[in-house]
Structure 1
Amino acid sequence: RFAPLNRRLVDTLDIVKFVCKDIWMLLFNRQVDNLKTNHRGVYVLQDNKFKWFLRMSGNCGGAAAARRAQPYIWLPCGIIRGILESFGVSTVVVAETLGLPQCTFQIKVVSDE
């Protein structure tokens, strides 16, 4: 139960900022390096030194290393999606890595239409 006690989060951007700052610090001992949004329900979180990739070898090349690292980013995708769902925001979370230890998470808010 790690929720902000002094404020109520209702705006999706505030909830994503909460994930980038507080939850990321709790899980990975650092904040997200970059947060971008198009203000239409798409958020991109970039972590240039993703903790789970720091000791992973990238000797086999960019595409092969990214393929090997893919299963390790499924859990953080689920964590992000679960936290947002607990705030009532339905999302689709997709992650990709172009080169280790960098990782990018794309969050798309699903409308209830």
Structure 2
Amino acid sequence: MFADDVLFEFIHSELVNYVTKEKSDSSIENAKQSDLSTLEYTGFITGYRIIERLTKDWPRFQNELETLKFICTDFWLSVYKKQIDNLRTNHQGVYVLQDNTFRFLNKISAGKQYLDSAPKYVSFTCGLLRGALANLGINCLVTADVVSMPGCKFNITTVQKSS
């Protein structure tokens, strides 16, 4: 593992800790949802900027599927140093990206006791994907499913622009 890989994991971990630290208000559930929104928005801005630099020398993508293939290969490789393990689609605007050894869940125990903590470690990446796709002209919703650690499925549902 290279030094910049360790730094990336450390920054992500500190970002999660900083944003999700214990709140003193009475509405803990609202605070948790707000924390995930903050992490997702931070990821959105980051993904928007990364994809801008990454695609500056690329021609425009022909369609959504070609764009998602780029996200699964080149984008994921530049951010996480590996490609997505599986891409599935129903060809109607729903895509599922599966990473069997998701980097930010890799260091957490594979037991089920930490499944409740998983959303805070994947919300940044949901935003990262949404931001990258937004910059490429694809408006979408991104959610993540963690059924067994360290695997993660990112569900992307494109939202058609209303005319």
Match of 1:100, SS?
Answer: coil
Q: Distance in 2 between matches of 1:6 and 1:102?
A: 30
Does 2:153 correspond to 1:101?
no
1:94/1:106 contact within 8 Å kept: yes
> In angstroms, what is the RMSD of aligned CA positions?
1.3
Match of 1:31, SS?
Answer: coil
Could you tell me the TM-score, scaled by structure 2's length? 0.64
Q: Distance in 2 between matches of 1:66 and 1:14?
A: 32
Match of 1:20, SS?
Answer: helix
Aligned counterparts, 1:80-95, within 5 A? 80-95=129-144
Q: Distance in 1 between matches of 2:72 and 2:56?
A: 13
User: Which structure has the highest helix share of the two?
Assistant: 2
Equivalent residue for 1:52, pick from 104, 117, 126? 104
- Which structure 1 segments of 5+ residues have no match? none
- Which structure 2 segments of 5+ residues have no match? 1-52
Q: Distance in 1 between matches of 2:98 and 2:130?
A: 16
Give the 3 Å change call, closer, same or farther, for CA 26–49 of structure 1 in structure 2.
Answer: same
- Report how far residue 6 of structure 1 moved: 4.4
Match of 2:149, SS?
Answer: coil
- Superposed CA deviations along residues 15-61 of structure 1, whole A, max 9, x for unmatched, are 111110011101111000000000000000000011111111134x2
Could you tell me the TM-score, scaled by structure 1's length? 0.91
1:65/1:99 contact within 8 Å kept: no
Fraction of identical pairs, as percent = 36
Partner letter of residue 105 of structure 1?
A: F
Q: Distance in 2 between matches of 1:4 and 1:22?
A: 13
- Report how far residue 7 of structure 1 moved: 2.9
Q: What is the count of residue pairs matched by the alignment? A: 110
Does 2:83 correspond to 1:34?
no
Which residue pairs with 2:27 in the alignment? none
Structure with larger Rg: 2
Q: Distance in 2 between matches of 1:31 and 1:13?
A: 16
Equivalent residue for 2:74, pick from 13, 22, 31? 22
